[in-house]
Amino acid sequence: MIKKINTKTIKLIKFYNFINYNLIYNNKAINRYKKDVFEISGDKAKKLEKLKKSISDIKNCELKKSATNIVFADGNPKAKIMLIGEGPGSNEDQEGLPFVGRAGALLDKMLASIDLDRKKVYITNVVNYRPPKNRRPTEEEIDKYLPYLKKHIEIINPEILVLLGSTALNALIGNEVVISKARGQWIEKQFGECKTSVIVTFHPAFLMRQPAQKKMAWIDLKMIREKKSKLKI
Ligand code: URA
């Protein structure tokens, strides 16, 4: 039976078309960052699930007490390029996904400049819960999350590991190095079974405060582009 459309419905359809409802709806932040579903091996999926569960079971953590959500990761678990930030901010805490705020928008632009996006990379942070008032995680907090981060790297097994900012640099390479010296060079590292080429670059939030440093970040991005072409990623 053909349903009769009354004039009220027609007017409503015209109105929705007029306000471009579809675009407004689909371009909402929540949809821009809607999680893609990637088919990964059962084994990898299980390991990631188990890791997420162990992180959510962490006891006596001040970060966790004040956070809304765990921020585990985003992107493609099959990606050969893994990025590590510092810790979730307020938007990330609300959505449970890394880099969805202003720094995330800049990160997306940086990735796009070398033909990458969240379907081609995997992203996580040094700590998985938001530090209150967006402060830097303490040494103690970093040490608490470090074994989980190393396990995370081992499970993803990236060929290229990009450390975004000094917190990720200090956590994974050491405290004695400064980012201005460490950036822009490849460091071969092993995390468990995973052998990977590490590069350090500036954190997008830092680049928003110090736009003059974007030219240095661009040098690092070009190095990543060259490496991925060499590795046929
Ligand atoms: N800054 C980070 O280091 N990580 C995020 O997820 C967001 C902002």
State if residue 86 touches ligand 1 by the CB under 6 angstroms criterion: yes
- What value does the CA radius of gyration of the chain take, rounded to a whole number of Å? 20
Nearest to 124 by CA among 109, 143, 141, 145: 145
- Across the chain, mean pLDDT equals 91
The pLDDT of residue 34: 52
User: Residue 199: enclosing H or E segment and its boundaries?
Assistant: strand 194-201
Q: Which atom of ligand 1 is nearest to the CA of 164?
A: 3
pLDDT digits (tens, 9 = 90+) for 42-55: 899 999 999 999 99
* Residue 10: pLDDT over 90: no
pTM of the model as a whole: 0.85
Query: Which structural domains are found in the chain, ordered by start?
Result: 42-230 (3.40.470.10)
State if residue 85 touches ligand 1 by the CB under 6 angstroms criterion: yes
State if residue 92 touches ligand 1 by the CB under 6 angstroms criterion: yes
pLDDT digits (tens, 9 = 90+) for 177-204: 999 999 999 999 999 999 999 999 999 9
Alpha carbon of 195 to those of 41, 69, 158, 188, 206: distances in Å?
Answer: 20, 31, 8, 7, 28
Instruction: Give residue 16's pLDDT band: very low, low, confident or very high (50, 70, 90).
Output: low
Q: Which residue has the higher pLDDT, 13 or 25?
A: 13
Q: State both tokens at 143.
A: 């040490």
In this prediction, residues 95-109 reach a mean pLDDT of 98
Å from CA of 5 to ligand 1 middle: 49
In this prediction, residues 159-184 reach a mean pLDDT of 97
pLDDT digits (tens, 9 = 90+) for 109-159: 999 999 999 999 999 999 999 999 999 999 999 999 999 999 999 999 999
Q: State both tokens at 102.
A: 């202003």
Å from CA of 186 to ligand 1 middle: 23
The rounded distance, in Å, linking the Cα atoms of 107 and 92 is: 14
